[in-house]
Amino acid sequence: MTTPQTPTRRMAFEIDTADFKSRPVAVIGYGSQGRAHALNMKDSGCDVIVGVRPGGKGDIRAKADGLRTAPIAEAARAASLIAILTPDMTHEAIFRDEIAPNISAGDAVLFAHGFTVHYGRIQAPDGVDIILVAPKGPGDLVRREFERGRGVPCLFAIHQDATGKARDRALSYTACIGGSTAGVIETSFAEETETDLFGEQAVLCGGATELVLAGYETLTEAGYQPEVAYFECMHELKLIVDLLYEGGLAKMHEFISETAIYGDLRSGPRVINAETKARMKEVLTDIQDGTFARDWIMENQAGKPQYNALLRKDLEHPIEKTGAALRSEMPWLQAGSNT
């Protein structure tokens, strides 16, 4: 089990990006994070090559965005830093077949999530820096905030410093994607991986969605209208999350009624209690001891049957039908709408 490390709690660093910008950077993959990182670095003055499958969606989109593209092996060979921004389960094969044969001593390999390195899915060659830069937000937000002259806070970590410059490289990369504008915290691959997985599973995705579904079911099973249950348990969640995001518990309490505050303080612990926390600790233990990673790797190797079944069950929940109907009447939620 990993012993958590105290991070360097600094949000500002002295960063000189001149040397970093003098050498080509390869961004492997052009999905959510890949597109944001590549465009932000290009706009920051970096020489960016996007490594993608020729003729694929990523290749077409990157070229339309004005970026230079190349097959992954060629991009890796041409760059001094290779950022692997494809899905976690693709890293092992991409690194083994396309990147490892085409990197040289003094190069750097960067990840936006520590899963692959922390769980030993690749073997870092001698002479190569292995670094992490993890924006704390989705790629679309990383790009939008950069375009506004702002940024998304980033974590960074060093797994292998072969050149003595790994930390400078990580900080320069962070600056060039806009992260240093918002703030930077130094961590470790283990801490970033384990806390990220835990947050997704217990709070942000798994915990939040299960809480919403349970609330919706409780109200509809008691005879309340599905539409009203949807508004109370899902739609209004954004309003509360925005307040928490902007100012923590204090701002939420400032902007909700005293009745809501009293209900929060009285009933919140009845729903989320010591038993819930014990289940959270089980989730964290599975992450720390590698159980989750092994299960997820095996699930992928088997063709993701359980993943697909559980996802289908989630998307077939009645709240999805109710929500789709209600959102169709809200033009301001439609993509690209200026209403």
d(CA 184, CA 279): 31
Q: What is the value of pTM for the model shown?
A: 0.92
On whether both 47 and 110 belong to a single domain, the answer is: yes
Chain length of the chain: 339
Q: Is residue 337 part of a domain?
A: no
Task: Look up residue 270 and give its two tokens.
Answer: 């009845």
Q: Which residues contact 152 (CB under 8 A, 6 or more apart)?
A: 135, 136, 137, 141, 142, 145, 178, 179, 182
- Known binding-site residue numbers for NADP(+): 30-33, 53, 139
pLDDT in tens, the chain (339 residues): 555 554 455 556 667 899 899 999 999 999 999 999 999 999 999 999 999 999 999 999 999 999 999 999 999 999 999 999 999 999 999 999 999 999 999 999 999 999 999 999 998 899 999 999 999 999 999 999 999 999 999 999 999 999 999 999 999 999 999 999 999 999 999 999 999 999 999 999 999 999 999 999 999 999 999 999 999 999 999 999 999 999 999 999 999 999 999 999 999 999 999 999 999 999 999 999 999 999 999 999 999 999 999 999 999 999 999 999 999 999 988 764 443
Let me know whether 172 and 133 are in one domain. yes
Q: What residues make up the domain containing 105? A: 17-188
The catalytic residue among 37, 91, 113, 118 is: 113
Do 170 and 260 reside in the same domain of the chain? no
Spatial CA neighbour of 79 closest among 28, 143, 15, 144:
28
The rounded distance, in Å, linking the Cα atoms of 292 and 288 is 8
Amino acid at 145: E
Q: What CATH number has the domain bearing residue 127? A: 3.40.50.720
Known binding-site residue numbers:
30-33, 53, 139, 196, 200, 232, 236, 257
Give the distance from CA 61 to its chain's centroid: 21
Query: Residue 144: inside a domain, yes or no?
Result: yes
Same domain, 83 and 160: yes
How far apart CA 86 and CA 112 sit, in angstroms, is 9
Residues 130, 225, single domain; the answer is no
Give the DSSP letter string of 150-161: ----EEEEEEE-
Domain presence at residue 198: no
| Nearest Cα to Cα of residue 46 among 71, 65, 70, 18 | 18
Report how many domains make up the chain: 2
Bridge-partner residues for 154, per DSSP?
A: 135, 184
Is residue 113 among the annotated active site residues?
yes
